[in-house]
Amino acid sequence: MFRSLFTAFMPMEVAASPYPKSALAACALFHAINDASFAIVPAVLPLLVTDFSLSYSEVGVLYAAILTVTVLLQPLMGDLADKFNELDLLAIGGFLIFLPFILIFLAESYLQIFIFNLIYAIGFSIFHPASYAVLSRLTYDVKHRTKTIGVSGASGDFGNFIAFLSTGVVASYLGWRAPFLIWGLFALFGVCIYLLFIRSLRRTSFFTLYNKMELSLETAKLKHETFSKKSICVIILICICMGAGYRTFINFTTLFLTDIVKISAAASDSIFSLFVLAGATGSMSSFYVAKRIGLKQAITLEFAVASIGMFLFQMEFVRSIPLLMMILLVSGYVIYATYPILYSMIAEVASFGGLGKSYGFVMSITFIGGATQSYIGGQLAQITNNLSVVYLLGSAIALLAVLVSSKMPSA
């Protein structure tokens, strides 16, 4: 899966083709849908907890189950992305988001909601391996790849922001089922947009396109990056920490704001949307941060700030709304900014033809961190009857990432 040498230069005739633009447009479209859909359960969680009398432990199990499905399936989805049309796979994922969301809207029991969310996780699992693989195939070095992935990532972040900003209000007036119906229909709309307007621009997978081309020293500049097995293990460890830190905020913060800070579900969603909005800015600007201070230094700094933010979050003296908003803004920026940098580095240690499989593997590793934090955090919160303990755990994990980052390869 991973190779010590990686060739990553895009010939000019390919760069000038319409394919890269259509790929980025499709990835941005489905990233917005994908990330917005993943915000719905956290956004309606306070209402679900009330309606179904869920414990913190049960909340953690729900998140862990959804993330476990993604852990198991993403390597498979990445392998499919190396064999079939990547963007068509994204459309299939969009449809597999639409279908279970409609079923959740019609569900009559929590067990049904739980099962339909696992089906949803199948559709969610498709996006990241396929999109990161196709974008990495179309960019020629780690810094430009960071910029491209950042643009696509920002579209997902803005979708996530809109979902958090609107869902609380919609759910307050129309009930928690309505957001599932609305975003399910948006997913179907995205699939239709792709089939009608984007798919006609390209009819072959980028993997096939590049395999059919003859790359030589005369037509392409070859760049070789040597990464040791130790460096790969370091990146994997950081991915685990990154997934855990991200899910600490996404999974529990809306519930924290309603249970601990004592504000309404609609207000908690609106406040938490600032975290995602700042994250979109972080994704867009990660390229410039990395360019100015270096990739390794950027990762180290961002995890250090995230660790401080999570530690402060469980302190009682910062639980005023203005201070919490400030912490969410800063933490959202640094956490989201790590993703484009780290995922662009993955291509440097992945075989060119097997990018999908490599990204599927790495995404699974990232979600293992999220699933583990979701389960353990939920159990600890239940045992201590204190939801803020999940932020203390997340802070410790982010601090571990700071220590590990010093061993990252320079890219």
Mean pLDDT of 103-111: 96
Burial class (CB in 10 A: 0-12, 13-18, 19+), 88: middle
pLDDT band at 5 (very low <50, low <70, confident <90, very high): very low
Q: Contact at 8 Å (CB) between 185 and 98?
A: yes
The alpha carbon of residue 130 and the mean position of all alpha carbons in its chain are separated, in whole angstroms, by 13
Could you give the number of structural domains in the chain?
A: 1
In a domain, 84, yes or no: yes
Mean pLDDT of 80-105: 95
In this predicted structure, which of 126-130, 138-142, 292-296, 356-360 has the lowest mean pLDDT? 138-142
In a domain, 20, yes or no: yes
Tell me the C-alpha distance between 289 and 146, whole Å.
11
Question: pTM for the complete prediction?
Answer: 0.83
Burial readout 94-114 (b: 16 or more C-beta within 10 A, e: otherwise)? bebbbbbbbbbbebeeeeebb
Comparing C-alpha atoms, which of 367, 337, 362, 363 is closest to residue 150?
Answer: 337
pLDDT tens string 363-391: 899 999 999 999 999 999 999 999 999 99
Instruction: Quote the percentage of the chain above a pLDDT of 90.
Output: 63
Which stretches of 194-320 are DSSP H helices? 206-211, 229-259, 265-293, 295-313
Q: Quick one: pLDDT at residue 217?
A: 32
Residues ≥6 apart with Cβ < 8 Å to 107? 113, 116, 177
Q: Which residue has the tokens 């990056």?
A: 225
DSSP state of 348: G
pLDDT tens string 156-215: 989 999 999 999 999 999 999 999 999 999 999 999 999 998 887 654 455 444 443 433
In a domain, 4, yes or no: no
- CA dist 139 to 14, 24, 103, 154, 298, Å? 10, 11, 39, 17, 21
In a domain, 154, yes or no: yes
Tell me the C-alpha distance between 32 and 160, whole Å.
7
Tell me the C-alpha distance between 280 and 292, whole Å.
19
Mean pLDDT of 1-10: 33
Tell me the C-alpha distance between 132 and 330, whole Å.
26
Say whether 82 sits in a helix, a strand or coil: coil
DSSP state of 350: B
Q: Quick one: pLDDT at residue 149?
A: 85
In a domain, 411, yes or no: no
- Encoding tokens for residue 236? 């994997």
DSSP state of 316: G
Q: Quick one: pLDDT at residue 351?
A: 55
In a domain, 135, yes or no: yes
- Encoding tokens for residue 310? 């999570």
pLDDT at 108 over 70: yes
The 10 Å Cβ neighbour count of residue 18 is 9
The 10 Å Cβ neighbour count of residue 339 is 26
Terminal C-alpha separation, the chain: 20
pLDDT tens string 9-25: 233 333 334 457 788 89
Mean pLDDT of 107-122: 97
In a domain, 381, yes or no: yes
pLDDT at 411 over 50: yes
pLDDT tens string 270-308: 999 999 999 989 988 887 888 888 878 999 999 999 999
In this structure, which amino acid lies at residue 368? I
Comparing C-alpha atoms, which of 275, 50, 36, 28 is closest to residue 151?
Answer: 28
Mean pLDDT of 216-240: 61
pLDDT at 61 over 90: yes
What is the domain extent for residue 131? 12-213+220-405
Tell me the C-alpha distance between 356 and 129, whole Å.
5
* H/E segment holding residue 155: helix 142-174
DSSP state of 326: H
In a domain, 7, yes or no: no
Q: Quick one: pLDDT at residue 378?
A: 95
CATH number, domain of 246, equals 1.20.1250.20
